[in-house]
Chain A
């Protein structure tokens, strides 16, 4: 998948991916990036910088919260935590995502664009 088309696809789903990962446990920024690549077996990759505007928005909406933990002598790590509101929002996002992807699949199949779908 080329970088541009992949990024366009990820655009709408990044919030959902982050919330899904945080459901497994609290994570810090770079850890989220690594888990995304790991869990998707390298199909989806992102960079840490692109994560922070999304994390800020999710936190601003009250879906996640953060906690600073001292690592080593003077290094702090910001761990993100999924809040109850975030869990509810994640369920709704997954539901909406399934509806849309099912619709897209049906259209592609109907057009005969991809017989493997």
Chain B
């Protein structure tokens, strides 16, 4: 990997990190920025990160401009989506924790049952009749 390519990747990574989540449109803007960074990296050998900043500005400034282009409705809508996603994630975590706690309580209950003299057997126990010959040679069935 060339020095220019490394500087491009580092710069792009910081740009991407500073962007909010507005969905598909954000990806398109990032693709456009990445394309321009790539062109600059191709035409400038031994490019440094500082040179990238000098030409394109601080990575977070690009995200600032992107947000500034949004009207209030778009920002509110994006915040709502974010809130919904957060709600779903938190709810899922709570459900998973509750299922896990339920399972834990069930296991403790089973352990407690065994400790009190109960035991659980999988399937029915079948006792086969066995023939045992006695002294007279007759066989008797012992169950």
Contact = CB atoms under 8 A, between A and B. Distances in A.
Interface of A: 11, 14, 29-30, 46-57, 60, 72, 74-78
Contacts of A55: 32
Interface in B49-67: 55-57, 59, 61-62, 64-66
Contact of B33 (A14, A30, A49, A72): A49
A64 B56 CA distance: 21
Interface string B15-50: 100000000010011001101100100110000000
A56 B62 contact: no
Contacts of B68: 11, 53
Contacts of A56: 25, 28-29, 32
Contacts, number: 57
B37 to A, nearest CB: 9
B32 A52 contact: yes
B116 interface: no
6 contacts: A48-B55, A52-B62, A56-B32, A57-B69, A60-B25, A76-B39
A72 B39 CA distance: 12
B15 A49 contact: yes
Contact of A54 (B28, B36, B56, B69): B69
